[in-house]
Amino acid sequence: MTQSYLHRDCPICQSKTKSVNEVSSLQRAEDLSYESLIPYWNGFFKEKIFFSYARCEECALLFAPIFYDLDQLGALYEQMSPNMDLVPMAALVKTQRGYFEELKKFSTLKNGYIEIGPDIGIFTENCSREGEFNNYWLCEPNREVAGALAKSVGHNQFTIIEDMFGFSQIPDHSAGAAVMIQVLDHLLDPIATLTELRAKLMPDAKLLIVTHNEKSLLRKIVGWRWPAFCLQHPQIYNPNSITKLLEKSGYKVTSIEKTRNYFEFSFLLKHLLWAFGIKVKSVPSIFNFTIGLKLGNIVTIATPR
Ligand SMILES: [Zn+2]
């Protein structure tokens, strides 16, 4: 394993122009060794550390010119314990339901279905309940969720692919829809993945992508403390840069909308009270309702061009 970091050009336009850093953490990840960053990756320390982001002078993508290389990323994801969801299930279900409503607006929900990183299948379940897809291709390396994921497709035909990007067993031009929820911000080479995926899509297929939006109001308010600035994101998009990325990968954008994230109010209230130094274990059950907040995410629908 190499210990030095990858020095990368803009992943959309490969521009060689030297970009100036736009946002950094107080202690910069690029100044620390690979070994000493591991506990930060795993979230053991409260201090926020990430690789500095610069803006490409040609396409205006916000990306980290110094970042982990593929081997380092592989090792870091490998040693992580599986997702422990802090957000209650009811809220997650509601958030993903909102994404599904967006797909439903544009897609016939027929033919093959591809999802990259479906986890336990919260989004997938909407498709199996209301769609008429004839085959589910689910790229999910986490074996611990395989049982729940298989359940989410009901009686439909499905294949779980344990390689996140192992599209080779999916027949070309067979899928009517593909879904990537919070995946694209994590990829070192998003064009390569989108291009490979495109070959699996039918000409009128719809691709649904959920990403952070670095031009969001929330980012402006919280500045460098915005949660999407983190060690897992080699770049973060905005409506313009994601449009450029998709065009470069052979798609055209149909729609871009802000999404709502749902939370249980009791969960938010507890955290608010903690912020003021009031430690409570639980709050009265009258606060157990969910609210939707626009937290700086966008849902993009694209189609092959
Ligand atoms: Zn660029």
Domain ranges of the chain: 6-79, 89-304
Q: At CA 106, angle to CA 62 and CA 173, rounded to 5?
A: 85
Residue 202 region by backbone torsions, left for phi larger than 0, else alpha for psi between -120 and 50, else beta: beta
> What pLDDT, on the 0 to 100 scale, is given for residue 82?
61
Q: How far is the CA of 227 from the centre of ligand 1 (A)?
A: 23
What's residue 241's pLDDT? 96
Q: How far is the CA of 180 from the centre of ligand 1 (A)?
A: 22
Dist. CA 11 → ligand 1 center (Å): 7
The overall pTM is greater than 0.85? yes
Which pLDDT score, from 0 to 100, does residue 38 have?
Answer: 94
Residue 242 banded pLDDT, cuts 50, 70, 90: very high
CA of 235 from ligand 1 middle (Å) equals: 11
What is the CA(15)–ligand 1 centre distance, in A? 5
**How far away, in angstroms, is 60 Cα from ligand 1 center?**
6
Q: Please write the tens of the pLDDT for every residue from 109-133.
A: 999 999 999 999 999 999 999 999 9
- Token duo for residue 154: 């009901």
CA of 244 to the centre of ligand 1 (A): 9
Confidence of residue 87 (pLDDT cuts 50, 70, 90): low
Cα 246 to averaged position of ligand 1 atoms, centre (Å): 13
For residue range 146-179, list pLDDT tens digits in order. Answer: 999 999 999 999 999 998 888 999 999 999 999 9
Q: How confident is the model at residue 92 (pLDDT cuts 50, 70, 90)?
A: confident
pLDDT band at 2 (very low <50, low <70, confident <90, very high): low
pLDDT of residue 101: 96
For residue 57, the CA-to-ligand 1 centroid distance in Å is 7
Instruction: State the distance from the centre of ligand 1 to the C-alpha of 273, rounded, in angstroms.
Output: 42
Distance 237 CA to ligand 1 centre (A): 11
State how far the Cα of 2 lies from the Cα of 303, in Å rounded to an integer: 38
Between the CA of 62 and the centroid of ligand 1 the distance, in Å, is 8
Residue range 44-57: average pLDDT?
91
Domain spanning 89-304: which superfamily?
Vaccinia Virus protein VP39 (3.40.50.150)
- What is the whole-number distance in angstroms between the Cα of residue 103 and the centre of ligand 1? 28
Rounded to the nearest whole angstrom, what is the distance from the C-alpha of residue 262 to the centroid of ligand 1? Answer: 33
184 Cα to the center of ligand 1, angstroms:
16
- At 293, the pLDDT band (50, 70, 90 cuts) reads confident
270 CA from centroid of ligand 1 (Å): 41
Contact 290, 259 (CB under 8 A): no
Q: What is the mean pLDDT of the chain?
A: 90
CA of 242 to the centre of ligand 1 (A): 11
pLDDT above 70: residue 303: yes
User: Distance, CA 147 to ligand 1 centroid (Å)?
Assistant: 41
